Amino acid sequence: MKSQAAKQRLDDAIADYVRATGDEGAILTGWVLSGSVQHPSVPGSDGYFTDHSPGLPYHSQLGLLMTSIQEKKNTVLVNTFMKEEK
């Protein structure tokens, strides 16, 4: 039950973030979160977790993750070109 309450708070926080930073009237239709973690019981270890908005289909989760990867690659590429022009 505790994790369900935390997930609801996360869902609310993401919706608030979209309202605060997105275009006026934007509607959040789904989200995927990926985080990096280090396990305290295993020094030097790392891992990750993922979660998604309730009811978001698997294919939509993959689509969001793949889109974010492509966006990051594009940003790195543009930044590389901008540095070369200076």
The pLDDT-based confidence of 53 (bands split at 50, 70, 90) is very high
- What's the domain range around 46? 2-85
Both structure tokens of 56: 């978001």
- The torsion angles phi and psi of 34, rounded to 5 degrees, stand at -130, 130
Q: For residue range 21-36, what is the model confidence (pLDDT) as tens digits? A: 988 888 889 999 999 9
- Give the span between the Cα atoms of 83 and 1, in whole angstroms: 49
- Give the span between the Cα atoms of 19 and 26, in whole angstroms: 7
Length of the chain: 86
- Give the span between the Cα atoms of 53 and 66, in whole angstroms: 16
Residues 48-72, mean pLDDT to the nearest whole number = 92
User: How many domains does the chain fold into?
Assistant: 1
